[in-house]
Structure 1
C-alpha cells in the first residue's frame, strides 16, 4: 500500500438507505495513486442487485419519506450543515483529488472549496430567494399559481476528472428541490463520493435521500434504464452522453448532459502573443494536466503570428515541472490512468500522421519511471478538420491553428461538433463582446479561461443538454405545475 493510502470509514460497503450495507458480491475496485501506480484504496463494486436496492431506497425516501415534504428552508438547513462539514474536510477532498486524478495539490487545495462547499452554500441561500410558488392571473381572470415541485428520484453519474466538485453541483440543487439521489461514482475515482456519504451520515440526512454506489458501465446503464429513476444527470464523454440520451428518450426520462468540448481560444491581432501564451499554457498544462472538459485546446491565431505563438507556447511547456502533485515545485502532475495516457499517446501519433508540426513534447517523460505522466505537448500548423482539432483528447496537448482574419477565426472556432467553452483575447472590450456573441459556446471568457458554475455552465451542440449551476441548475431538478382556481 502507498504511504498516501486514502482513509475511508467503510470502503468495502455501499451507502444505501442511510446505512453502510454489505454489497451482494465480494468484487471490488482498486484505486491507484496515479503518480506511483500503487493501490491507495479498495472499494466495493456494486452489482445489479445493489443498484436495484439503491434505487428502491431513493424511491421510498421520495414517495413516503419526509424529504420532499420539508420546506425549502428546512432542506436548506441540511445544506448549510453539509457545507460546514465540507469546509472542515476541504483538505481531505483536495488530497483525494490529487491522488486519484493527478491535479497539483497546491492548485486543488484552494480551488475545491469554491466548488463543493460553495455549491451547497449557494443553493442553501436560494431557499429564500427563489420563488417556489408564484401567484398569477389567468387569461380568464381566475386566480392561478405556478409552483415548482421536485422531479423525483435523480441518478447522478459522476466523472473521474473532478468528482467532488461536479457531484456538489448536482447534489446541492437536487436536495434543495426536494429530490432524492443515487450517486454512481466512477471506479477510477470513487473516494470523494464515499466521503460525501460519510457526511450524509454525520449530519443526520434522512435515510435514502442520498445513496452512493460505485459501478461499472453495465450496471450504470441499468440505473439509466430503471423506471424508478425520474431524471439522469451525467457528466462525461459525448459518446456516453448519446447512449444515455437514447435510453432516457425511450422512456421520456428527464436528462441533463454535460459532455465533451474542443474549446477555441481566439487570439486577435491586437493582443500580445507571449502574454496569451503564458495565460493559455500555464492554465492548461497546470490545471489537471488538461483533463478538463472546458479546456481551451485550440489556439486560433492570425497567420502571420502563428510561428510566434507556437514558439511561445513551447517555451511555456518547457518550463512546466512534471512530478508528484504533492511536491511544492511541481506545476503539472500525471494523467489519471494508464488508459488515459495511452489515449493521449494515440492522438499525438495521429497528429503527426496528419501532418501537423510537433513542436514540443509528445511522449512519456523518460526521467520519470512510475506514474501516468505525459509531456506538455504543442502542435503547430494544425488543420482544423484533423483529429487533434476535432476530437477531445483530455490530456496536455495544445493545437495552434492559423487563420486569415477575425471572421475566419470565428468561422474556425465554430467549426466543431462541440460548443462548451471559448475565449477571445483582445485589448478591446467591445470587440471581445462582438466576437463572443458570434461564438456557439456555453461560456466565453475574455483574455483567459473564465467559467462560472455559480452563474451557469453547459454547452451548445454536442457539448450537452441543459445547464448546471445557478438558477437553471436548480430548475433542472424541478417540474413546473400550473394551478388555476375556480
Structure 2
C-alpha cells in the first residue's frame, strides 16, 4: 500500500505548497519508499499563521459559546474514533511503532484527550469573582485563550503528542498551526482531513510540514502567541532562546535519561515484567524511559541477568505484526546513532545482551542491548540515546542511589522498584524529576507531565495542560459603597 499526499491544509483548504516540493516517505521496516508528502516553506507558514489569526477573531470560532466549542471537539473526536485502526497503522508504517502500542497510544489516545479537555473546559468557569483584599469591591478574574499556537511535534508518538497540544489549545479557544516531523506527516494530514469532516471552522487547525527551516520561521513568526514543542533538548534550547527574546510563552517537553532504582527488597519478577514498558517502550524511542538501572551492589549481577533476560526475550519483527514487541528505529540515521553508542558501551563496559543487528534482511533494526560494569560518568549513562540501550549501575546505599539518579542534566521520568510501597514513595520524593512511578510507569492523562532541568519547561496533560493555553485578565470593580 502507498500513501500519497501532495497538499498542505491551510485555512480550511487543501493547497499545494508554495515551492511545489514533495519528499518520499520511507518505511523503517524495509528501507523502501511507501508514499510521499508535501514539503512546506516560509510562505506556507505565513499563510497558515494569517489564517489562524483570522479564525481566532472570527464569529465562527472566536465568538461561539463553550457548549458550541465542546460540540465541535466532540465531533472531531468522533471522526478520529472511526479510524482508530487505520491511524494506528499509519504511525507504525512511518516510524516502526509496534502496532499493539500504536492502537492504544496513537489510535485511541487522541480522541480520548479531545473529550477530556472539552469537558474540562466546559466545567471551568470563564470568569470568577473574588473579593478584594482592601474591601473596596471585587475583582473579576477572566480566562481567555492565549491566541495562535505553534505546535511542533516529533516522530516518536506523533498523533498522541499532537493531541497533548491541540486538545487543550482548542478547548481553551486557541487556533493552531501544526508542524509535524517530516518522518510522520501522513498522520497529521489525516488529522486535518478529520477536522474538515467534523466541520472545524476554517483556520482553526492548519498543518504545514517541513524541516528545521519551517519550524524556525514558525517559532519566530510575529503572528504566533505561544509555542508548544516536544523534541530534543538541543532544539528546545534554541526555541526557548527565541521565545525568551520575544517574551513569548513556551512549553518545552524535551529529553530524558531517567533512572530505575531497584531497592534491595525488590521482587525481580515484578521488575522484569515492568521493564519492557518502563525502559524499552516503542523500541526505546520514548523520552521518559528508565534507561539507567540502578542496582544494590550485592544484587548487581542478579539484576543485570534479569535485565539482560528481558531484553533478549523481546520479540523483534514487523511492527504491523501484533506479536512484535520491538520494531525498527525510525530511520537509518537514527540506527547509526544508536549503534555508535553501542560501540562506546562495548569499549567501556560489559555487554550482557544484544549489541548488534537482528537477522533480518531489510529495515533499520537494532537488538535490545544491555551493558553492565558501567559508571554513571560514562557517556552511555549520561547522554540520551533514544534507542533500546540500557545500562546497569551499582550503588552501595540508598543515599548513593538517589545521588546517582539525580546526577544527570535531565529530570523527566523514573521508577522505584520495591516491595515496601512507603519506602518506595520516600525515595520517589527525593528524585529530581517531573514524573516517577513506583513499581510501574504509565502516563496519567489527567495529571501533569513534564520535566525539570534540561528535560523542559512547563507541563502538559491534566488541568495544568489546559491552563498553559489560557491567559488571565483581572477586571477591578469598585464597590458602590466606596464611591
2:263 maps to: 268
Q: Which moved more, 1:236-245 or 1:311-320?
A: 311-320
2:2 maps to: 5
Taking the TM superposition and a 5 Å limit, the aligned residue runs for 1:110-121 are 110-121=104-115
2:351 maps to: 358
Q: Residue 92 of structure 2 aligns to a residue in which SS?
A: helix
2:445 maps to: 453
1:200 maps to: 195
Q: 1:234 aligns with which of 209, 229, 237?
A: 229
1:256-309 per-position Cα deviation (integer Å, ceiling 9, x unaligned): 000000011101011122431332146543x31010001111111101111111
* Cα separation, 2, equivalents of 1:268 and 1:144: 52
Give 1:369 shift: 1.7
Tell me whether 1:187 sits opposite 2:187 in the alignment.
no
1:441-468 per-position Cα deviation (integer Å, ceiling 9, x unaligned): 1111110223223211101111111110
* Cα separation, 1, equivalents of 2:14 and 2:237: 33
Q: Residue 68 of structure 1 aligns to a residue in which SS?
A: coil
* Cα separation, 1, equivalents of 2:414 and 2:445: 15
* Cα separation, 2, equivalents of 1:432 and 1:130: 35
1:433 maps to: 425
Q: Residue 436 of structure 2 aligns to a residue in which SS?
A: strand
Taking the TM superposition and a 5 Å limit, the aligned residue runs for 1:4-83 are 4-6=1-3, 11-83=5-77
Tell me whether 1:323 sits opposite 2:317 in the alignment.
yes
Q: Residue 126 of structure 1 aligns to a residue in which SS?
A: helix
**TM-score calculated relative to the size of structure 2:** 0.96
Q: 1:145 aligns with which of 137, 140, 147?
A: 140
Query: 2:106, 2:158 within 8 Å by CA — same for their partners in 1?
Result: no
Give 1:179 shift: 0.6
Q: Residue 182 of structure 2 aligns to a residue in which SS?
A: coil
Query: 1:73, 1:127 within 8 Å by CA — same for their partners in 2?
Result: no
Q: Residue 195 of structure 1 aligns to a residue in which SS?
A: helix
Give 1:310 shift: 1.2
Query: 2:277, 2:441 within 8 Å by CA — same for their partners in 1?
Result: no
1:376-409 per-position Cα deviation (integer Å, ceiling 9, x unaligned): 1001121111111111100000111100011111
Query: 1:259, 1:463 within 8 Å by CA — same for their partners in 2?
Result: yes
* Cα separation, 2, equivalents of 1:185 and 1:32: 16
Query: 1:157, 1:184 within 8 Å by CA — same for their partners in 2?
Result: yes
* Cα separation, 2, equivalents of 1:111 and 1:233: 20
1:485 maps to: 477
Q: Residue 421 of structure 1 aligns to a residue in which SS?
A: coil
1:301 maps to: 295
Q: 2:150 aligns with which of 138, 148, 155?
A: 155
Q: Residue 140 of structure 2 aligns to a residue in which SS?
A: strand
Give 1:113 shift: 4.1
Give 1:98 shift: 1.0
* Cα separation, 1, equivalents of 2:79 and 2:409: 40
1:373 maps to: 365
Give 1:144 shift: 1.4
1:212-246 per-position Cα deviation (integer Å, ceiling 9, x unaligned): 01011012101011111010000000000000000
Taking the TM superposition and a 5 Å limit, the aligned residue runs for 1:88-167 are 88-141=82-135, 142-167=137-162
Q: Residue 472 of structure 1 aligns to a residue in which SS?
A: helix
Q: Which moved more, 1:221-230 or 1:310-319?
A: 310-319
- Name stretches of at least 5 consecutive residues in structure 1 with no aligned partner: none
* Cα separation, 2, equivalents of 1:71 and 1:391: 48
- Name stretches of at least 5 consecutive residues in structure 2 with no aligned partner: 479-483
Query: 1:68, 1:150 within 8 Å by CA — same for their partners in 2?
Result: no
Query: 1:284, 1:290 within 8 Å by CA — same for their partners in 2?
Result: yes
2:457 maps to: 465
2:481 maps to: none
1:388 maps to: 380
* Cα separation, 1, equivalents of 2:321 and 2:52: 42
2:254 maps to: 259
1:66-125 per-position Cα deviation (integer Å, ceiling 9, x unaligned): 312222222111111111111111111110111111111122213434420110010111
Q: 1:175 aligns with which of 167, 170, 176?
A: 170
Q: Which moved more, 1:412-421 or 1:442-451?
A: 442-451
1:345-369 per-position Cα deviation (integer Å, ceiling 9, x unaligned): 111112223x22111211222x212
Query: 1:425, 1:446 within 8 Å by CA — same for their partners in 2?
Result: yes
Tell me whether 1:474 sits opposite 2:455 in the alignment.
no
Query: 1:72, 1:127 within 8 Å by CA — same for their partners in 2?
Result: yes
Q: Residue 379 of structure 1 aligns to a residue in which SS?
A: strand
* Cα separation, 1, equivalents of 2:293 and 2:117: 35
* Cα separation, 2, equivalents of 1:192 and 1:171: 14
Q: Residue 415 of structure 2 aligns to a residue in which SS?
A: strand
1:110-169 per-position Cα deviation (integer Å, ceiling 9, x unaligned): 343442011001011113322321111112321211111011100000100001001111
* Cα separation, 1, equivalents of 2:423 and 2:474: 43
| Superposition RMSD in Å | 1.3
Give 1:172 shift: 0.8
